[in-house]
Amino acid sequence: MDLNLLVVFQCLMNERSVTRTAEILSLTQGAVSSSLKRLREQFGDDLFIRGAGGMTPTRRALELAPKVSEALGAVSTLIDGRRQFAAETSRRVFNIAMSDDIESCVSPMLVNEAQSRGLSVGFAFHQTNSSLWKPVFDERDVDLVLCSEPKAFSSRYSSQILFSSSYSCLYDGVRLNLKSPITRDEYLLHHHVRVSFDGRRGFVDDLLENEGIARRVSASFTHFSGMLATLVYSDAIATLPTFAAHAYARIARLTVSPVPITVPAFRVFMIWKAAQNDDEQNAWLRSFVIDTTRELQFAGSYGIAGSPRRKGAKAPTTKLRS
């Protein structure tokens, strides 16, 4: 087989577009289409089917993808040795999926860090959560997923813990005439906005009901960003991850307080396809995310979550316990 066909296959798998593949490989669209025709003949399968969302890989293509990546990596190492990905000159756009609470904190950190380093790479952020993280890898050709405590993990994926967190309260301190920290009585007295996967129930409801207390919930949301306007214009308190509470507080000038009841801690994971363990660009992205979010591993960093990390700034040295 002409190894150039495998290069076209891999690029199509990454880009899901004949046009972008042609641009990246410096080929004409006709040449890419011709290569795809030869690939189809070689493997006896359509491999990629054109649809509204671009070139969708078939089941056979998804099976071949990790083998092709491994084969090209072996050939590249044999001929040229390990080439380092040049983020300073690459126009690669990395696709990262995460829930909006993590997005509110991490996305500005990644963008600002890339700009401060003078990198040419870009980022496209997509929505997912700990229950629905798997489909985005195939549906949106995502490079990484960031979510808390992912469910239904399998050997097809690799992961690493980025940082741990707990929860904080977020509210308009001036509007409610509440200082920080709020008391347990103040917390129970005021109305709350709930954020949960189904919009019907959250862990705070369970904690309070175990004590025979019914939480006063004014509104429920399935996304954290949805509750922000309600906190600004209504008399309510939200309980949300600490890093997101500080990020939203900066945006809307709200007040952050420790939660005056015992709340759990959780971990935020970075997930990628196991087939990309040795992929040079994916490995660079993982390293970049780890370096950029390192300060979130420390308890003191939550006060600046969502802000750009200054060059030369040192992270606090107190570890956050999960």
In a domain, 298, yes or no: yes
Is pLDDT of 303 > 50? no
Claim to verify: residue 191 and residue 226 sit in the same structural domain: yes
Say if pTM beats, i.e. exceeds, 0.85.
no
CA 41 to chain CA mean position, Å: 37
pLDDT of residue 319: 27
Residue 313 inside a domain? The answer is: no
Instruction: Kindly state whether residue 292 falls inside one of the protein's structural domains.
Output: yes
Average pLDDT, the chain: 85
Tell me what pLDDT residue 180 has: 92
For residue 315, the model assigns a pLDDT of: 33
Q: Is 9 exposed, middle or buried (0-12, 13-18, 19+ CB in 10 A)?
A: buried
Cα gap 150→134, rounded to integer Å: 9
Is 148 within 8 Å of 130 (Cβ atoms)? yes
Beta strand 93-98 pairing with 122-127: parallel
User: 131 and 184 in one domain?
Assistant: no
Task: Note whether 287 and 138 are same-domain residues.
Answer: yes
Residue carrying the six token digits 């491994």: 70
pLDDT given for residue 74 in this prediction: 72
pLDDT of residue 153: 79
Averaged pLDDT for residues 88-110: 93
The reply to whether 148 and 21 lie within a common domain is no
Q: How many CB atoms lie within 10 A of CB 230?
A: 16
Same domain, 130 and 196: no
- What value does the mean pLDDT take over residues 41-59? 89
Domain final position from 227, 258, 289: 258
CATH of the domain at 151: 3.40.190.10
| pLDDT for 298 | 64
Does residue 220 belong to any structural domain of this protein? Answer: yes
Residue 87: which of 294, 282, 310, 291 has the closest Cα? 282
Q: Which residue range(s) make up the domain with 208? A: 167-258
Does 321 fall in a domain?
A: no
From CA 99, how far away is CA 103, in angstroms rounded? Answer: 6
Of 321, 316, 309, 319, the C-alpha closest to 106 is 309
Q: How many CA atoms lie within 13 A of 81 on its CB side?
A: 1
In tens, the pLDDT along 161-216 reads: 999 999 999 999 999 999 999 999 999 999 999 998 777 888 899 899 999 998 89
Q: What is the pLDDT of residue 187?
A: 95
**pLDDT digit string, tens, across residues 233-274:** 999 999 999 999 999 999 999 999 999 999 999 999 999 998
Q: How many Å apart are CA 243 and CA 318, to the nearest integer?
A: 16
Confidence check: pLDDT of 10 > 60: yes
Q: Confidence class of residue 79 from pLDDT cuts 50, 70 and 90?
A: low
Q: Which whole-number Å values give the CA distances from 132 to 124, 151, 199, 222, 232, in the listed order?
A: 18, 8, 15, 13, 29
Residues 245 and 300 in one domain: no
pLDDT value at residue 302: 40
Whether residues 196 and 245 share a domain: the answer is: yes
Together in a domain, 235 and 97: no
Provide the domain count of the chain: 3
Q: How confident is the model at residue 45 (pLDDT cuts 50, 70, 90)?
A: very high
